[in-house]
Amino acid sequence: MVISNKTIATIGTDAVSEAMRQINPDVVAAYPITPQTGIVETFSQMVADGLVKTRFVAVESEHSAMSAAIGAASSGARVITCTSSQGLAYMWELLYIASGLRLPIVMPNVNRALSAPINIHCDHGDSMGARDTSWIQLFSENGQEAYDNTIQAARIAEHPDVLLPAMVLMDGFIISHSIDRVDILEDEVVSRFVGEYKPAFSLLDAKKPVSIGTFDGLYGFFFEFKRQQEEAMMNSFKIIKDIGKEFGEISGRPYDLFETVGMEDAEFAIIVLGSACGTVRHQVGEMRSRGIKIGMIKLRVFRPFPAKELAEALSGLKAVAVFDRSDTFAGHLGGPVFIEIRSSLYDLPKRPLIVNYVYGLGGRDLSMELIDKAVGELADIASSGQVKQLVNYLGLRE
Amino acid sequence: MSTKLKDLVMKPEILSGGHRLCAGCGAPIAVRQMLMGAPDNVKLVIANPTGCLEVSTTIYPYTAWKASYIHCAFENAASTLSGAEAAYQSMKEQGRIEEDFRFVAFGGDGGTYDIGLQALSGALERGHRLIYVCYNNEAYMNTGIQRSGATQLGSWTTTSPHGSNSSGKKENRKDLTAIVAAHNIPYVAQASISHWKDLVRKAQKAFAADGPAFINVLAPCHRGWRYDMEKTVEIAKMAVQNCIWPLYEVDNGKWNLTTKVPKKQDVLEYLKMQGRFSHLFKEDNKHLLPIIQQNIDEEWEKLLKKCE
């Protein structure tokens, strides 16, 4: 088929709004919060200009945003909401309800640090905290990926073998507020790609009334429901890969669970996600041109976590550095990505050495010098076979 | 629409029998009377916050609801239902739904006066066409009789116990019906399960309203109020007659007293019938009795003025 993209210069939030316009959901319920605000503002204008069929519910809080999204999705509607940071935290209990009711709600979350101290800049503490809520989590490197992920999220979430809500994650300000080159698909192409949503049940099915969110108090099926959610997560690996491939066919931009750079001959590697991938990729390319055998893995899908595939990709390496833009405050256990990767490597017959770099909390810049510093240490680990410090804070004032 | 008993008994029941609410519970009486006011030709979506009504009528894999039903969490029945209503409006506009749906939330006083107040206020302000019914039993009964913003001054609850340093709840209840009326929505009313004709008529008006409607229904709980279970309706009736729970409506901004009180009763008899107030008749706590009466009298006078 002929791939037709229109190239524009746009900020990340507008790229997401554009994806939302093209998905044309039945209901959007959202509340403004920095740095997500651009999405609700631009989308509100699209509603005001009659560009979408969407009912926009301008709720009084994020709690009500997710509640209304749950009510609307239970009514058979295709639903999108979006938030950041405190807003995501305020939705907390409802994240579990959305996934527990198996409602394929799509939610762009513009990553921002959680208070206190209050800070409006990027880190991944907000969505990493939601890693056990049974939501699909897709990370984006730039505005293009935020746009592409939003479109794919609708398909992934609604797939009958998945039926889980999906978060599209993009770094606050670095992606949300930066002008970037973004290739936009034609409306009909997106419309055809997402297709018509056919819900399995609906409050508004007049012939078949349903009770949703009922009480599991006496006969105890809770355990089975939760096991089914895990089953859906397992199923989603294949669906995410299939849809990523299909998206490649319409856009020229195929997607997988993660992306590798130079891993064919790498002796050590960095694993990173979000906007930092661009900086790391640049430095890795630079070093490789100087003959340093370093590779990089850009993690796109954090939930489900591709443990098996990552272990395979990392096996045979001497050392691995995991970059985390959030901490778990567990007492030297490291960031969430590190914990998952370390656990994924456990069953390998020969495990690479592993080290964690926590960076960029509250928007602290990740400079090329800091990456060089980490790579220098990683090279030492690879050659010495010794990890001196398991968890390191990169760019911290000391 | 008719409020004649012979017509009302012919209406199909939406909340079927066999649910697990206590014998003598006021909540299902409120629900059934309320839904008798629904037009015959509409489909319903019912929402509950977490509470007695929810846990007792939807024990998985069973449901007592013959209409569509959703429970999400405790503080968000209004916002959950507003999402369902928005989905309906969207899909109706797109021509994907033919039937006429109406949306009714039933929340207890805890889920309405307290934790759910923000979601309720937001939904009312946004103008969704939904009815929010508070079945008010003046405390958190589902969790074991804890005080709420609807609990009466002096009342015993498990979190406002009486003791050597306490005469029961120290604060007076908030006037939620007036708070809701201040949202200037089409229809607001206060009702009681003891006055079924009045309640059904109010329900009919609420269903006819082209926008949000709110009805605060007194629905006594014998477990929490400590009276014999067969007296639920009698107690509710006394509350109307002594004006601790006056029946009125705010119909498009106009305040109307809907049940006249020809001879206003003293509140003492009402208090005496309920174990939650029994400590007020002991020497240490007696000082609260005239204050409670005075509060009722003052509120009643204010209401009469609004309804002039």
Of A201, A220, A251, which marks where a domain is finished? Answer: A251
Looking up residue A112, the CATH number of its domain turns out to be 3.40.50.970
Nearest to B91 among A26, A29, A94 (CB): A26
d(C-alpha A54, C-alpha A56), whole Å: 6
Instruction: Write out the two tokens for B42.
Output: 């509409």
The average confidence (pLDDT) of chain A is 97
How many CB atoms are closer than 10 A to CB A374?
22
DSSP B150-195: TPPTT--BTTB-EETTEES--SPPP-HHHHHHTT--SEEEEEETT-
Residue B204 half-sphere exposure, CB side, CA atoms within 13 Å? Answer: 13
Looking up residue B110, the CATH number of its domain turns out to be 3.40.50.970
Measured in residues, chain A has a length of 398
Instruction: Please count the structural domains in chain A.
Output: 2
Same domain (yes/no): A312, A345: yes
Nearest to A74 among B84, B94, B126 (CB): B84
Q: What is the pLDDT of residue A81?
A: 98
Of A207, A231, A251, which marks where a domain is finished? Answer: A251
d(C-alpha A133, C-alpha B177), whole Å: 37
The average confidence (pLDDT) of chain B is 97
Which candidate in B20, B91, B120 is best for mutational testing of the A interface (most A CBs within 10 A)? B91
Which candidate in B43, B50, B70 is best for mutational testing of the A interface (most A CBs within 10 A)? B70
Nearest chain B residue to A77, by CA? B87
Q: What is the pLDDT of residue A398?
A: 85
Query: What is the percentage of chain A residues whose pLDDT exceeds 90?
Result: 97
Q: What is the pLDDT of residue A1?
A: 58
Stretch 234-263 of chain A: residues touching chain B, C-beta under 8 Å: none
Nearest Cα residue to B221 out of B142, B292, B294, B277 = B142
Is the pLDDT assigned to residue A2 strictly greater than 80? no
d(C-alpha A296, C-alpha A282), whole Å: 10
Of A218, A251, A284, which marks where a domain is finished? Answer: A251
Omega of the bond prior to A35 within 30 degrees of 0, cis? yes
Strands A166-171 vs A106-111: parallel, antiparallel or unpaired: parallel
Reduce the secondary structure of A105-149 to three states and give it as a string: CEEEEEECCCCCCCCCCCCCHHHHHCCCCCCEEEECCCHHHHHHH
Helix (H) or strand (E) holding B214, with range, is strand B213-218
C-alpha to C-alpha distances, B42 to A56, A73, B67, nearest whole angstrom? 25, 21, 11
Residue in the structure block whose two tokens are 């009815």: B131
> pLDDT tens digits for A99-152?
999 999 999 999 999 999 999 999 999 999 999 999 999 999 999 999 999 999
Q: What is the pLDDT of residue A4?
A: 82
The answer to whether the CB atoms of A60 and B67 lie below 8 A apart is no
Q: Would an 8 Å CB–CB cutoff place B258 in contact with chain A? A: no
Same domain (yes/no): A373, A306: yes
Q: What is the pLDDT of residue A225?
A: 97
Instruction: Please count the structural domains in chain B.
Output: 1
Q: Which residues of A touch B122 (CB under 8 A)?
A: 59-61, 64
How many CB atoms are closer than 10 A to CB A235?
17
Range of the domain at B195: 5-306
Range of the domain at A16: 5-251
Looking up residue A282, the CATH number of its domain turns out to be 3.40.50.920
Query: What is the percentage of chain A residues whose pLDDT exceeds 70?
Result: 99
Same domain (yes/no): A310, A390: yes
Q: Would an 8 Å CB–CB cutoff place A113 in contact with chain B? A: no
Q: What is the mean pLDDT of residues A155-177?
A: 98
**Beta strands in chain A, from DSSP E residues, in sequence order:** 5-11, 27-30, 55-58, 79-80, 106-111, 136-139, 166-171, 179-185, 211-212, 258-261, 268-272, 294-299, 301-303, 319-324, 353-359, 391-394
Nearest to A206 among B79, B84, B99 (CB): B99
Q: What are phi and psi of B136, to 5 degrees?
A: -100, 110
Collapsing DSSP to helix, strand or coil, A382 comes out as helix
> pLDDT tens digits for A23-46?
999 999 999 999 999 999 999 999
Strands A353-359 vs A391-394: parallel, antiparallel or unpaired: parallel
Instruction: Write out the two tokens for B107.
Output: 């929340």
Same domain (yes/no): A69, A161: yes
Q: What is the pLDDT of residue A3?
A: 81
Nearest Cα residue to A155 out of A236, A71, A100, A96 = A236
Same domain (yes/no): A279, A156: no
DSSP A256-298: -SEEEESTTS-SEEEEE-TTHHHHHHHHHHHHHHTT--EEEEE
Q: Is A380 left (phi over 0), alpha (psi -120 to 50) or beta?
A: alpha
d(C-alpha B81, C-alpha B70), whole Å: 8
Is the pLDDT assigned to residue A199 strictly greater than 80? yes
Nearest chain B residue to A220, by CA? B60
Q: What is the mean pLDDT of residues A301-314?
A: 98
Is the pLDDT assigned to residue B291 strictly greater than 90? yes
The answer to whether the CB atoms of A26 and B87 lie below 8 A apart is yes
Residues 6+ apart with CB under 8 A from B80: A67, A68, A70, A71, B47, B70, B72, B73
Same domain (yes/no): A14, A49: yes
Q: Is B51 left (phi over 0), alpha (psi -120 to 50) or beta?
A: left
Nearest to B45 among A60, A94, A203 (CB): A203
d(C-alpha A150, C-alpha A36), whole Å: 14
Q: Would an 8 Å CB–CB cutoff place A224 in contact with chain B? A: no
- Is residue B231 within 8 Å of residue B273, measured between CB atoms? yes
- Is residue A65 within 8 Å of residue A81, measured between CB atoms? yes
Collapsing DSSP to helix, strand or coil, B35 comes out as helix
Cα of B118 to nearest chain A Cα, Å: 8
Q: What is the pLDDT of residue A244?
A: 98
